[in-house]
Amino acid sequence: MLFVIVIIPEAPSWVNVNAVNTTALEATWSASNDTDYYQLTCNLLAVNVSADETTYLIVGLEPGTNYTVSVAACTSTCSKNTESTNNTGLLV
């Protein structure tokens, strides 16, 4: 019998989003232990970010649009997403 132990990292405790300009948002989040990478989701965009990073610049967005950003900590399995604490980024 073979047993596989999967360690799910703890989700970031917070995620914050700020508009950089009319087409870009900067997402920052708290670091998580035992993480291989983070999975950042912004509406339909999903990107993997190095475990060494806790900031990501999201570019090419549409002005006047609400964006919801969430981040999960991942190894072979991802934690639950932590949604941005300031709700959404609105590009004006």
pLDDT of residue 53: 97
Is 58 inside any structural domain? yes
Is 43 inside any structural domain? yes
| CATH (domain of 42) | 2.60.40.10
H runs (alpha helix) in the chain: none
Domain count, the chain: 1
Q: Up-side HSE of residue 73: CA atoms within 13 Å toward CB?
A: 20
Query: Tokens at residue 75, please?
Result: 């190894």
Residues 29 and 83: their CA atoms lie apart, in Å, by 10
Print pLDDT tens along the chain (92 aa): 787 777 789 999 999 999 899 899 999 999 999 899 999 999 889 999 999 999 999 999 988 888 889 999 999 889 888 887 654 555 65
Summarize pLDDT for 13-24 with one digit per residue, the tens.
999 999 899 899
pLDDT of residue 66: 85
pTM of the model: 0.86
